[in-house]
């Protein structure tokens, strides 16, 4: 439903999006995760026809965004990360205004608006002025506005940004209801665990490039139970790494230096104690063993890294 082919966006010498190849299937919720400035908003703006690509192509429901942007706009509901509201409009009037702007028949607008307000739990705010709503309510109203012309595709740029925990839960339930309606949703965030709770697939973008992509259940299965453990040694980091790589409970090894080796470990605490004991008996000069913090994003990136890339990173790290 959404597809990009080597999509690029350049600003002078800065490449905001680099050869992005994305494929979002019909009826799925795809989570686009990356830190601020990674290229999420730029990608979504190109898909929404708000800015042209520098090179490459992007398609929505089979239509290339630069070939027929008017048709693409009719097929999408786009919610930017920051959107304005009108001080002198009620919630009902706000949806009605956008319904007319989208060309929705007048006889349909009132009923559809009421249905959408019920979906986003704002029925009791129909006659309230938009600027009187809390941020969470305004975000939910923004989703309702995107649905006024009943598009098959929704592009939501960080809809949960700045929301309190309760509002985040409410937004998550709304996204799930959109999936139940058969909508295709591309949603961005800089928080992977947040997206993992509502998406079918996850893609991580870094410096404009898609660096990892997988189904949510794959992400969860790969990351679940993994711990990052660091070994501090007197010397012999590469030799220790070779031994650790063969351990049944070690899923990845990274050599930071000749005196520091880090592993991803999926075994129990008993397995960990036995491993450390066996290494000490084997004569490895281990000064300390510590569990280090790691974000879900870091773990996912390491676990989805290709074997060749992983080997290159280990060699480069070991040469430091």
For residues 205 and 33, the answer to whether their CB atoms sit within 8 Å is yes
Would you state the pLDDT for residue 236? 87
Would you state the pLDDT for residue 254? 83
Q: Over the chain, what is the mean pLDDT?
A: 85
222 pLDDT tier (thresholds 50, 70, 90)? low
308 pLDDT tier (thresholds 50, 70, 90)? very low
Q: Counting beta carbons within 10 angstroms of the beta carbon of residue 87, is it exposed (0 to 12), middle (13 to 18) or buried (19 or more)?
A: exposed
Would you state the pLDDT for residue 299? 60
Pick the range with the lowest mean pLDDT from 15-29, 95-109, 304-318.
Answer: 304-318
Would you state the pLDDT for residue 70? 94
46 pLDDT tier (thresholds 50, 70, 90)? very high
Would you state the pLDDT for residue 214? 82
Q: What is the pLDDT of residues 108-123, one digit of tens each?
A: 999 999 999 999 999 9
4 pLDDT tier (thresholds 50, 70, 90)? very high
What's the chain's Rg over C-alpha atoms?
A: 24
Q: What is the pLDDT of residues 165-186, one digit of tens each?
A: 888 888 888 998 999 899 999 9
Q: Domains of the chain (ranges plus CATH)?
A: 2-221 (3.40.50.300), 225-318 (3.30.70.100)
Please give the model's pTM, rounded to 2 decimal places: 0.75
């Amino acid at each position: 439903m959404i597809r990009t082919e080597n999509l690029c966006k350049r600003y002078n010498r800065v490449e905001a999006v680099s050869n992005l190849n994305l494929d979002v299937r019909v009826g799925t919720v795809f989570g686009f995760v990356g830190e601020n400035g990674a290229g999420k908003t730029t990608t979504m703006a190109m898909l929404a026809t708000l800015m042209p690509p520098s090179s490459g192509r992007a398609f929505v429901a089979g239509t290339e965004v630069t070939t027929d942007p008017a048709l693409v706009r009719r097929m999408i509901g786009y919610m930017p990360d920051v959107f304005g509201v009108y001080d002198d409009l009620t919630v009902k009037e706000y949806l009605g205004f956008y319904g007319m702007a989208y060309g929705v028949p007048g006889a349909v607008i009132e009923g559809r608006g009421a249905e959408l307000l019920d979906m986003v739990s704002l029925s009791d705010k129909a006659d309230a002025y938009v600027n009187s709503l809390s941020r969470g309510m305004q975000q939910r109203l923004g989703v309702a506005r995107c649905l006024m012309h009943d598009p098959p595709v929704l592009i939501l740029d960080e809809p949960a940004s700045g929301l309190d925990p309760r509002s985040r839960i409410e937004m998550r339930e709304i996204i799930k209801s959109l999936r139940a309606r058969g909508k295709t949703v591309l949603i961005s965030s800089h928080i992977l665990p947040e997206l993992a709770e509502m998406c079918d697939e996850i893609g991580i973008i870094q410096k404009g490039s898609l660096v990892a992509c997988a189904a949510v259940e794959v992400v969860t299965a790969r990351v679940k139970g993994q711990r990052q453990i660091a070994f501090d040694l007197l010397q012999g980091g590469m030799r220790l790494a070779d031994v650790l790589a063969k351990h049944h409970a070690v899923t990845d090894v990274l050599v930071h230096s000749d005196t520091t080796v880090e592993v991803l470990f999926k075994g129990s605490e008993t397995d960990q104690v036995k491993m450390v004991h066996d290494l000490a008996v084997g004569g490895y000069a281990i000064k300390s063993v510590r569990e280090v913090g790691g974000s879900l994003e870091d773990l996912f990136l390491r676990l989805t890294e290709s074997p060749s890339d992983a080997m290159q990173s280990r060699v480069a790290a070991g040469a430091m």
